[in-house]
Amino acid sequence: MKAFVGVTDYEWYQRLSSQAYDEVNFWKPGGSTNFKALEPGELFLFKLHAPLNYIVGGAYFVRFHILPSFLAWEAFGQKNGTRSFEELENRIAKYRKTTDSNPQIGCIILGSPFFFPESDWIPAPSDWGKSIVQGKTYDSDSPIGNSLLDAVFERIRKPYERESVGKEEGAREGLTLAKYRIGQGTFRVMVTEAYHRRCAISGEKTLPVLDAAHIVPFSEEGSYSVQNGLLLRTDIHTLYDKGYLTVTPSYHVEVSSRLKQDYGNGKIYYAYHGQELPNLPNNPEERPLKEYLMWHAEHVYR
């Protein structure tokens, strides 16, 4: 098993450790470098800047995406470790030494975060160098890595079982080694990226007017899995949630006659009736499950 130790501010730790969040965004001010150190489900640990050379918590790696700062804020809000969007932009500007509007930032999206009280902080590994700026990867096969992981698992009171580490997208359960929790922000980002930042029905690509819509609402035991999502323009999303529009298991659009009956209009939406979705995820495992689409057609569509 691998773990990545990332460097962060005490203020970021202090703000997030006081909340019971199901996800956090460990953002990087640069928007050009990918993050390839971990596979989904592996541990990402939080180390404070010197002189506080301690590991103070961690979470499970979910995804990495480069996002405009407004989308990072809309998806995660204070889970970015700032109190407001203005504060997030100010901190990005401080690190980038620029005042770019809506810059692209690297977002390391993490699930099921945990934080240690100061009495349980773990000293930085013995081989941690002063020149390390962003972080370092440790492997359980090495003595230092194994010792670090043992210390982490002892604090979260979970046994370390090499074969148990995995993932379950949209899990509704809390922290375990085998499952990490995906929250609303992660769901929004994953759906947005899966659909190439375009509305599944209209093809609209103006990000501020695109929503990650649940097929089966969370209130109806729907999950935050990307397979339970559609990226829709906001007006289409509203009609979808209200049952005036649905997507069939064969990925065709149906618009209800009730739209015209109830509102005397809907011409622009009837133009989509019968069309096959022009925009679906390339990865078949990210496309909507047909069972979810059928549920919407049977329980929501008018």
Confidence band, pLDDT 50/70/90 cuts, at residue 162: very low
Looking at 118, 144, 164, the residue that finishes a domain is 164
Residue 130's Cβ-side half-sphere holds a number of Cα atoms within 13 Å equal to: 1
How far, rounded to the nearest angstrom, does the alpha carbon of residue 71 sit from its chain's CA centroid? 11
**Res 189: pLDDT:** 97
Q: Are residues 64 and 155 in the same domain?
A: yes
Give the span between the Cα atoms of 134 and 126, in whole angstroms: 17
Do residues 139 and 241 share a domain?
Answer: no
Q: Which residues pair with 253 in a beta bridge?
A: 247
The answer to whether residue 238 is domain-embedded is yes
> What would the mean pLDDT of 197-221 be, rounded to a whole number?
95
Q: Domain for residue 187, yes or no?
A: no
| Tokens coding 182 | 């995906």
pLDDT at 173 over 60: no
Q: Using 50, 70 and 90 to split pLDDT, how confident is the model at 161?
A: very low
Contact 71, 192 (CB under 8 A): yes
Inside any domain, residue 270:
yes
- Is there a domain that residue 176 lies in? no
Judged against a pLDDT cut of 80, whether residue 158 lies above it is answered with no
Say yes or no: 23 and 139 in one domain.
yes
- Predicted confidence band of residue 17 (pLDDT cuts 50, 70, 90): very high
For 19-74, write each residue's pLDDT tens digit: 999 999 999 998 778 899 999 999 999 999 999 999 999 999 999 999 999 999 99
**Domain's final residue, options 164, 184, 215:** 164
Domain range enclosing 268: 195-299
Residue 190 lies in a domain: no
Phi-psi domain of 170 (left: phi exceeds 0; alpha: psi -120 through 50; beta: other): left
Tens of pLDDT, residue by residue over 127-139, are: 999 888 889 999 9
Whether 208 and 109 share a structural domain: no
Contact yes or no for 231/198 (Cβ under 8 A): yes
Q: Which of 117, 149, 164 is the last residue of a domain?
A: 164
Q: Which of 57-61, 177-181, 192-196 has the lowest mean pLDDT?
A: 177-181
Encoded tokens for 128: 């941690």
181: tokens are: 């929790």
Q: What pLDDT was estimated at residue 30?
A: 84
Residue 146 Ramachandran class (φ > 0 left, ψ -120 to 50 alpha, else beta) = alpha
Q: Do 97 and 230 fall within a single domain? A: no
177 located within any domain: no
CATH code of the domain covering residue 89:
2.30.130.30
Q: Let me know whether 46 and 141 are in one domain.
A: yes
Q: Is 268 exposed, middle or buried (0-12, 13-18, 19+ CB in 10 A)?
A: exposed
Residue 89 phi, psi (nearest 5): -65, -40
pLDDT at 198 > cutoff 60: yes
Q: Please report which confidence band the pLDDT of residue 170 belongs to, taking 50, 70 and 90 as the band edges.
A: very low
**Considering the domain boundaries, does residue 180 fall inside one?**
no
Is residue 124 located within the same domain as residue 206?
no
Chain-centre distance of CA 163, in angstroms? 25
Same domain as 117, residue 9: yes
**In this structure, how many other beta carbons lie within 10 angstroms of the beta carbon of residue 174?**
11
**Which residue carries 């298991």 as its tokens?**
249
Q: Which residue has the higher pLDDT, 10 or 163?
A: 10
Say yes or no: 124 and 217 in one domain: no
Q: Are 290 and 247 in contact (CB under 8 A)?
A: no
Q: Do residue 129 and residue 12 come from a single domain?
A: yes
Domain count, the chain: 2
Which H/E stretch holds residue 152?
helix 143-155
Looking at residue 22, its amino acid is: D
Place of tokens 């990087």: 28
More confident site: 222 or 158: 222
Say yes or no: 88 and 214 in one domain.
Answer: no
**How far apart are alpha carbons 88 and 258 in whole angstroms?**
44
Same domain, 15 and 81: yes
Query: Does residue 179 lie in a domain region?
Result: no
pLDDT band at residue 164 under the 50/70/90 scheme: very low
Residue 188 tokens, joined? 């929004």
pLDDT band at 166 (very low <50, low <70, confident <90, very high): very low
- Can you state the percent helix, strand and coil of the chain, rounding each to 5? 35, 25, 40
Query: Could you give the CA distance from residue 286 to residue 193 in angstroms, rounded to a whole number?
Result: 10
